[in-house]
Amino acid sequence: MSTASATSTPSPASHPPTEKAFTPLVRQFLDYLKFEKHFSDYTVKSYGADLIQFGMFLAGDIGHRPNPEVGGTAVTPDVIDDRQLKCEPLTIREFLAYLYGQNYTKSTTARKLATLRSFYKFLIRRGLLSVNPLSTIRTPKQEKRLPKCLDLEQVQKLLEAPGDGDLLSARDRAMLEVLYSSGIRVSELVELEMGDLDLQEGVLRVRGKGRKERLTPIGSQAIRALQRYFELRAIDGRGQQQQQGDSRVFLNKHGESLSTRSVRRKLDKYLVQAGLDPGISPHTLRHSFATHLLNNGADLRSVQELLGHQSLSTTQIYTHLTTQRMKDAYDAAHPRADVGTVPANTTIPHPATTNGAAPQRPFYPAKAG
């Protein structure tokens, strides 16, 4: 791990960690996530950044210094690993206090705690620890925020923004159509390979979190957008090298795989063109996909499977966005919900009034005994 002074130590947020910055135990944990749990590179990188920050805290490079007597002595990776193994709940609480002092949001703090929980569970499974120092630590209660969702008119504007007059425009139109038609994550989109597409049946094979595969249908609009993109790519010289069945579907202008960051940049461009909220993300299309399905009668379990959610509770957040559908279902199904017999503009009197008079004081019978 880097032993630069506090004045020259780069923050984890501004400089992505390099492999040499990981301690041996952290390196083992990240390899476990990547090769055994099949986590995405982005997720592994996030876990690594969180653990590097915790290691810097234990080394005294940030926050308080656990062992002031070490002074300016270099703290080696083995020493940090030893401190991680001897970590106590009090140290975790001090680390949380440091995060609070740095104005980290509750959601970010919760994510860092989740990283530490996973790391210490890994150490216990490997027989290096017997007690988890986080067993008595509670995750900060987070604010419940409803996901952003586009209405149908906004979706239409966004999907039409790229056009399909040239290769890159057709690619971008196809990307947006697939995101909204299937509800897949942007990380799943960029990993789609040619062999994952069955345009005849209108089905995608998607590799989700933990490399779990699922089949997801796509609609006719997305199929046509993909076909148009493939037609132009076949004409372009960059498409000639992508004939194997395992090649990526969406390529950049150099004929290489797109990154999730590139997809975000493209979306930002078309949001401006369409005059839509610049705060919309690719994940907003996933939220819109789920909400529109539920609004049109899809059941929650089916939406869960389409989204690739492991827990139904994760999918249930979308039910808060579908109140109108529930009201319509109530009006259509409940025998006492029919308000058609009440003339328009009729004021329904309060039950306690008589002939429009002021409310009368209700009568309560005396209690027996």
In the 3-class helix/strand/coil scheme, how is 190-217 assigned residue by residue?
A: HCCEHHHEECCCCEEEEECHHHCEEEEE
304 DSSP assignment: H
Whole-angstrom Cα distance, residue 235 to residue 7? 55
Are the C-beta atoms of 308 and 215 separated by less than 8 Å?
Answer: no
Per the domain annotation, does 99 fall within a domain?
A: yes
Distance CA 334, CA 128 (A): 60
Helices (H) and strands (E) in the chain, counts: 14, 3
List pLDDT tens digits, range 257-280: 898 999 999 999 999 999 999 888
Can you tell me which residue has the tokens 């989204």? 307
Mean of the per-residue pLDDT values of the chain: 80
The dihedral through the CA atoms of 86, 89, 92, 93 has a sign that is: negative
- Whether 248 maps to a domain, the answer reads yes
The 10s digit of each residue's pLDDT in 138-196 is 888 766 666 678 889 999 999 999 999 999 999 999 999 999 999 898 999 999 999 99
Same domain, 159 and 279: yes
| 287 tagged catalytic | no
Neighbouring C-beta atoms of residue 283, cutoff 10 Å: 14
Give pLDDT tens digits for 299-350: 778 878 888 776 666 666 666 655 555 666 667 777 766 655 445 454 545 4
53 and 88 Cβ atoms separated by less than 8 Å: no
pLDDT of residue 334: 73
Among 204, 132, 140, 215, CA closest to 175: 204
Q: Look up the pTM and report it.
A: 0.64
Q: Could you tell me if residue 203 is inside a domain?
A: yes
In this prediction, residue 343 carries a pLDDT of 52
20 pLDDT more than 90? no
Is 185 designated active site? yes
Catalytic residue among 207, 233, 286, 292: 286
| C-beta atoms surrounding 162 within 10 Å | 24
Distance CA 5, CA 22 (A): 18
Q: Is residue 161 part of a domain?
A: yes
In this structure, the answer to whether residues 94 and 174 fall within a common structural domain is no
- Tell me the CA distances in angstroms from 315 to 119, 146, 285, 323, one per residue in order: 27, 12, 15, 15
Q: What is the pLDDT of residue 145?
A: 66
Instruction: State whether 159 and 96 are in the same domain.
Output: no
Question: Which one from 47, 120, 229, 318 is the annotated catalytic residue?
Answer: 318
- Digit-coded pLDDT (tens) for 209-249: 777 888 999 999 999 999 999 999 988 865 545 544 448 99
171, 173, 185, 292: the active-site residue: 185
Query: Domain residues for 87?
Result: 19-125
Q: Are residues 171 and 121 in the same domain?
A: no
CATH of the domain at 179: 1.10.443.10
Q: Please report where in the chains the tokens 């037609």 appear, as a residue.
A: 231
Q: Tell me if 273 is assigned to some domain.
A: yes
Question: Which one of 229, 260, 287 terminates a domain?
Answer: 287
- Read off the tokens for 342: 């009440």
Distance CA(183)–CA(290), nearest Å, equals: 7
Q: Most distant CA pair in the chain: distance in Å?
A: 96
Contact 351, 327 (CB under 8 A): no
The pLDDT assigned to 317 comes to: 65
Count of domains for the chain = 2
Inform me whether the pLDDT recorded for 98 exceeds 90: yes
Count of C-beta atoms within a 10 Å radius of residue 368 = 4
In a domain, 191, yes or no: yes
Cα 135 to Cα 52: distance, rounded to the nearest angstrom: 21
Q: Are residues 119 and 38 in the same domain?
A: yes
User: Is pLDDT above 70 for 369?
Assistant: no
CA-CA distances (angstroms) from residue 141 to 107, 262, 281?
A: 9, 33, 25
CA distance 187 to 275: 26
Is residue 61 in a domain? yes
Kindly tell me if the per-residue pLDDT of 368 is higher than 70.
Answer: no
Does the active-site annotation cover 286? Answer: yes
Across the beta sheet with 203-207, the strand order is: 197-198, 203-207, 213-217
- Sign of torsion, CA 339 320 298 173? positive
Domain membership flag for residue 353: no
Task: Find the catalytic residue in 209, 233, 266, 330.
Answer: 209
User: How far is CA 161 from each of CA 58, 170, 266, 270, 343, rounded to the nearest angstrom?
Assistant: 50, 11, 11, 6, 46
The residue count for the chain: 369
Q: Which residues pair with 350 in a beta bridge?
A: none
- Active-site residue, selected from the candidate residues 27, 238, 283, 325: 283
Label the pairing between strands 203-207 and 197-198.
Answer: antiparallel
Last residue of a domain, one of 241, 257, 287: 287
Q: Are residues 216 and 102 in the same domain?
A: no
